[in-house]
Structure 1
Amino acid sequence: MARFRYQKKDGEFARAMTSVADPIAAAGLAAITEAGNIIKQAGRADIAAAGFSKRWQNALRTKVYPNGAGLSAGVFIWHKIYYAGIYEKGATITGSPRLWLPLPTAPKRAGRSKMTPALYIRTIGPLVSIERPGKPPLLAGKAALSTRGKNVGKVTLSALKRGAAGKASTLVPLFIGIDRVSIRDRFSIREITGRAAARLGQLYLKHLKVG
C-alpha cells in the first residue's frame, strides 16, 4: 500500500555509515523499524475502527528491507487482501450488466470460495430470475419444504440442495441485482504512514547513540 525509506547522507558521513554496526546507520535502521511498528499498530486499529474483522486487521503487514539491515533501510507496508486498497480510496463498481449481491438467505460459501450466482448454479442447482418493475431484480433458489409440507423457516444449505434435487419446494430470493455500488473510503493507512514518516527525524535522534 505504501513504502518509505531512510536514505544515508553522502559526503562527510559516508565513511561512518559503512555498516549497520555504525551508530548512524544503526539509528537509521532502528528509526525505520519503529516507524513501521507504529504504522502497523495504528493501521490495524484504524481497520478495526472501521468495523472490519480481526482477519482484516492482521492482514496489514510491514517489512523492513533489505532484510532488516543496510545503509538505506526502508519499510514496505501492504495488505494481504488484494482488494483492500478500495477501502482506502473508495470507488464505484459498475456491473456488466449487473452486480449480483448475496442476500442474508444466500449460503456464505461453497467450500473455500465466496458464494456467487455462478458458483451456486455449479454446486447447488439452478436459479430462477424474478423481475420486479421499478425494483432491482432477484435470483431465487428452490428451498425444500418441511416434512409437514409447510413453508421453510430458516433457509439452510441442506434445504436448498434438497429443493434443487426436486423435492417439494418454494422459491427463496438469494441474490439482488444492481447496476452499480459505491464504496466509500474507510481506511486512513496513507495518512497514518505520512504521520509516521514525519516522525523519522525524532525517532532517529531517539535511537542515535554516539560515544
Structure 2
Amino acid sequence: MAGGLKVKVSDPSDAWVKAMKDKYKPIARAATAAMTQVANNIKAEGRANIIAAGFSKKWANAFRVNVYPKGQVSANAAALVYHKIPYADAFETGAMIQGSPFLWLPLPDAPKGRGNRRISAGEYRKEIGHPLYSIKRPSGKAPLLGAVIRATNARFQKGISKAQLKRGRNPHGKGVERLVPLYIGVPKVEISQKFHLRSITAANAAKLAAYYYRNFLDE
C-alpha cells in the first residue's frame, strides 16, 4: 500500500534464536534416537545372521553400523552400514571366484586357526613354518598340496594334529615319514548366498518412522 507503514525485520535477538532452537531440539532428539534404535537392531540381527551362517565371531564383529553425526543429536541423523572385510559382499550376493590358476581349498586334515576356521594354503607357511609339496595325481584329477610328517600307524589313524604338522619330518620322532594331503586345487568356486544383511537392513529401516513418532511423543 503506497505510503503505508513499512517495517524491516532483521538481526533477530538471541531470545528468538534460542526459541527456534528449543523447538528444534525435540525433533532432533527423536530422530537421533530412532536412527540409533534402527542401527542397534541392524547390528545385532546382522551379526547373529553371520554367526548362524557358520562364520566366526571375528567376521560378525566386522559388521558395523555407525550413526552420524557422532556424539550429537540431529533431525538429519543417518546410519552407515558396512562390513570391514572387503570381500564380505560375495557372501551376501553369491559369487563365482576363479583361481590363478587354482584356488586351494582346505581338506579335513588342514589345520585350524582362530575361530575354528581351517587356515588357507597361503597362511600355512606363516603359521606352521614348513613348506607344502605338490602331490602327483593321475591325469584329470584335481591337484593336491600336502605336508610331510612323521607318525606311527596308530597315531596316524587318529588324525593329523597341528602339533604334528609343526614338527614336520621330526627326524628323532617315532614312526615313518608320510605325505599328508591338506589342500585341493580347483579352477573356480561358486559361493552361494550366506548372509541376508541387506534384507535385515531394509526391514529395520522400514520401522524408522514408527520409532521416530514413539520417541517424539515421549519428549
Q: Percent identity?
A: 40
Secondary structure of 2:86's counterpart equals coil
Q: In 2 relative to 1, CA 19–44 (structure 1 residues): closer, same or farther, beyond 3 Å? A: farther
Q: Aligned partners of 1:42, 1:166: CA distance in 2, in Å?
A: 52
Q: Aligned partners of 2:96, 2:162: CA distance in 1, in Å?
A: 32
Q: Per-residue CA shift, 1:69-88, capped at 9, x if unaligned?
A: 23411111222333322211
Secondary structure of 2:201's counterpart equals helix
TM-score, structure 1 normalization: 0.76
The answer to whether residue 194 in structure 2 is matched with residue 191 in structure 1 is: no
Matching residue's letter, 2:143:
P
In the alignment, structure 2 segments of 5+ residues that lack a partner are 1-17
Shift of 1:162: 4.1
User: Which has more strand, going by share of residues?
Assistant: 1
Q: Aligned partners of 1:16, 1:180: CA distance in 2, in Å?
A: 65
Shift of 1:120: 3.8
Q: Per-residue CA shift, 1:91-124, capped at 9, x if unaligned?
A: 11000001111212122349xx974445545621
Q: Aligned partners of 2:50, 2:163: CA distance in 1, in Å?
A: 35
Aligned twin of 1:6: none
Q: In 2 relative to 1, CA 207–175 (structure 1 residues): closer, same or farther, beyond 3 Å? A: same
For the aligned residues, what is the CA RMSD?
A: 3.1
The answer to whether residue 100 in structure 2 is matched with residue 96 in structure 1 is: yes
Matching residue's letter, 1:203:
Y
Q: In 2 relative to 1, CA 158–202 (structure 1 residues): closer, same or farther, beyond 3 Å? A: closer
In the alignment, structure 1 segments of 5+ residues that lack a partner are 1-14
- Structure number with larger C-alpha Rg: 2
TM-score, structure 2 normalization: 0.73
The answer to whether residue 54 in structure 2 is matched with residue 51 in structure 1 is: yes
Q: Per-residue CA shift, 1:124-164, capped at 9, x if unaligned?
A: 13413322333211112211133xx7772322334334444
Secondary structure of 1:208's counterpart equals helix
Whether the 8 Å contact between 1:47 and 1:57 is mirrored in structure 2 is: yes
Among 75, 85, 99, the residue aligned to 1:81 = 85
User: Which has more helix, going by share of residues?
Assistant: 2
Q: Per-residue CA shift, 1:143-201, capped at 9, x if unaligned?
A: 1133xx77723223343344445574011111100010111111111111112222221
Q: In 2 relative to 1, CA 186–18 (structure 1 residues): closer, same or farther, beyond 3 Å? A: farther
Q: Aligned partners of 2:122, 2:201: CA distance in 1, in Å?
A: 40
